[in-house]
Amino acid sequence: MGVSIRSIICALAATALVHLAAGCGEVGDGRTRSLVREVELGPTIGSLGQVLSTPLVAVEGYGLVGGLKGTGSAECPTRVRAYLARYIATQLPQHRIDVARLIASPDTAVVSVQGLMPAIASTGRSFDVRVTALSGTQTTSLDGGWLYRAELLPAGRFVIGARVAGTAAGPVFINKIDESAADLRTGYVPGGGRVAEELSVNLVLREPDYRLTGLIRDLLNERFGEGTARAIMAARIELRVPPRYRRQPEKFFAMVAAMYLGRTEELVAERINSFVRKLAVSDDKYAAEIALETIGSASLGKVGILLNSSREDVRLHAARCMLNLGSDKGLGALYDIAVNGGGGSTRRIEAMEAIGLSARREDAAALLRKLLRDKDFEIVLAASDQLRRLGDASVKREFVGRSFYLDQISQTAQKVVYVCRSGEPRIVLFGSPLYCRQNIFVESADRAVIINAPAGRKYVSLIRRQARRPGITSRRQSSFELADIIRKLCEEPVSTGDIAGGGLGVSYSDCISLLQQMCDKGAVGARFMAGPMPKIDLIVKK
């Protein structure tokens, strides 16, 4: 049998009162009154059910890394070889490829591929993957290689024909800029994974009830848009993250849990008053912010009063809530916190991200551009990330060598060469254009690549020795502008008759290692900074 909203409210209130009377003393004490008031606000979806979701899913597969210039091997387990033969044939049905010969080539290596895929993500969203030469093989290095497109399945369930969770492909990155020796048999493809299909998430009720699932479905579709919720069974509702919350799926699920079933003017007013009080004085201000945003624009008036609070954290939550509800009255408060915040860079970045995600594009870009001149580089980096996401002209962007982006930002006072090792492969030149001084000599660890400009030279010489033919070298000339050097190093070579053009085809791994040397030796008047490595733990149980 179905239950009415009124009966749910009454039952919850009665149960709470019984427990409170038994465990807290008389109903008249302050703590009890506060709890009773919460119960009287009515049941939330979160009190009746639970959203079952996991932020990350471990995935794995097997693939083939090519372009290894003799450092691969022919060894491959029989079952993996059979799988790759079938998979490659399906990927290239119009081409006749001798798969056995391809796998046996010393220029290729069979690898295991592992990643942590965002479970709640739209199709095509990227994630990092790790590639590892199979144990027992003679592969010596994956450096300079390219992972051909590989299938990824949930870890521990790699069965031929199973439903594919994601794919992975792209240039292999070997970390060469830390003090420890690089592991050449293990590399990463930053941002090389792709979600194959958007997964739905289930809201499971504690007690099956068709009328209740229908009611919740209608409330969610009314609040977040048609197609958000679909009643599947008496105790299960399928959820789809609305486009607005694709970058913040966990926030969406928190709002689902915070949504109330019963709505009258009196109840809504009481809820707003209750959560505004909590936002002002409680420790869990985020929960109060989420509850007020879930209620909607009716809460704007009372939340706006908190913009005058003496507490910065209260102003942050209130202003962000208002901005997310479509009011820019809190935009000034957020910008003030982003510029002058006293809670450290974390709170400043929170305010900045709120502006970047929810403010009008023109307003957000104008405010974020001012933060590019901040003295705190964390703030500068966060502002540049938001501006890049917005597609703002302050970030000049180009794709280099089919493997990474080169971003140049001229509006910063600080001069920094920043390289990304996870997410999207990217070199960012802050304070561009950056120039090298004369009298440069830098070479890669294996001495295969040299950057040289003796004193008095009007150009920079770039030299690359061929791995298989040490006596053969490729040469290019560059200006002293660092962006030009990066292009000439990493663009693919182009041959037209007897004339060689393009770049030297240097890998992203070697390029950022050379950039680190140039900065450390003072050849470039800029600091070198590297982002974090991909966070991929051992995810497959052997």
Residue pLDDT, tens place only, 79-100? 999 999 888 877 766 667 788 8
Strands 416-419 and 527-530: parallel
**pLDDT bracket for residue 178 (50, 70, 90):** confident
Mean pLDDT throughout 228-249?
A: 92
**pLDDT bracket for residue 33 (50, 70, 90):** very low
What's the mean per-residue pLDDT of the chain? 88
Q: What is the signed CA dihedral for 399, 401, 403, 405, rounded to 10 degrees?
A: -30
Q: How far apart are CA 539 and CA 366, in angstroms?
A: 43
Alpha-carbon separation of residue 208 from 44, 108, 320 (angstroms):
16, 55, 36
Query: What is the model's pLDDT at position 342?
Result: 80
Higher pLDDT: 178 or 440? It is 440
Query: What is the model's pLDDT at position 500?
Result: 62
pLDDT tens digits for range 313-356: 999 999 999 999 999 999 999 999 999 988 778 899 999 999 99
Other Cβ atoms less than 10 A from the Cβ of 94: the count is: 4
∠ CA 378-384-385, rounded to 5°:
90
Mean pLDDT throughout 497-506?
A: 76
- Spell out the domain ranges in the chain: 1-40, 56-195, 265-394, 395-542
Q: How far apart are CA 462 and CA 385, in angstroms?
A: 31
pLDDT > 70 fraction of the chain, expressed in percent and rounded? 87
Mean pLDDT throughout 194-200?
A: 85
282 has a pLDDT exceeding 60: yes
Closest to 9 (Cα-Cα) out of 32, 36, 41: 41
27 has a pLDDT exceeding 60: no
What's the CATH class of domain 265-394?
Answer: mainly alpha
pLDDT tens digits for range 432-461: 999 999 889 999 988 999 999 998 899 999
26 has a pLDDT exceeding 80: no
Contacts 24+ apart (CB under 8 A), 11-18: 12/39, 12/42, 12/43, 12/47, 13/39, 13/40
In the block, tokens 């009196």 appear at 266
Query: What is the model's pLDDT at position 3?
Result: 44
362 has a pLDDT exceeding 50: yes
- The pair of structure tokens assigned to 182 is 């690089």
Half-sphere exposure of 195 (CA within 13 A, CB side): 17
Backbone angles phi and psi of 86, in degrees to 5: -70, -45
Burial state string for 265-282 with b = 16 or more CB within 10 A and e = fewer than 16: eeebeebbebbbebbbee
477 has a pLDDT exceeding 90: yes
**pLDDT bracket for residue 388 (50, 70, 90):** very high
**pLDDT bracket for residue 416 (50, 70, 90):** very high
Q: How far apart are CA 331 and CA 321, in angstroms?
A: 10
- Asked if residue 433 has a cis previous peptide bond (ω within 30° of 0), the answer is yes
**pLDDT bracket for residue 521 (50, 70, 90):** very high
In DSSP notation, 74-106 reads ----HHHHHHHHHHHHHH-TTS---HHHHHHST
For the chain, what is the largest distance between any 2 Cα atoms, rounded to a whole number of angstroms? 95
Query: What is the model's pLDDT at position 540?
Result: 41
139 has a pLDDT exceeding 70: yes
User: What pTM does this model have?
Assistant: 0.86
Mean pLDDT throughout 474-502?
A: 86
Mean pLDDT throughout 139-157?
A: 92
Mean pLDDT throughout 408-433?
A: 96
Flag the least confident range among 14-28, 66-80, 177-191, 446-460.
14-28
Q: How far apart are CA 261 and CA 7, in angstroms?
A: 12
The conformation of residue 439, written as its DSSP 8-state character, comes to: S
Strands 146-154 and 527-530: unpaired
14 has a pLDDT exceeding 50: no
40 has a pLDDT exceeding 70: yes
Q: Which residues, 6 or more positions from 440, have their beta carbon under 8 angstroms from its beta carbon?
A: 451, 452, 453, 460, 518, 523
Q: Is 455 helix (H, G, I), strand (E, B) or coil?
A: coil
16 has a pLDDT exceeding 80: no
Q: How far apart are CA 168 and CA 113, in angstroms?
A: 8
Backbone angles phi and psi of 225, in degrees to 5: 110, 150
Q: How far apart are CA 73 and CA 126, in angstroms?
A: 29
Query: What is the model's pLDDT at position 537?
Result: 62
AA identity, residue 316: L
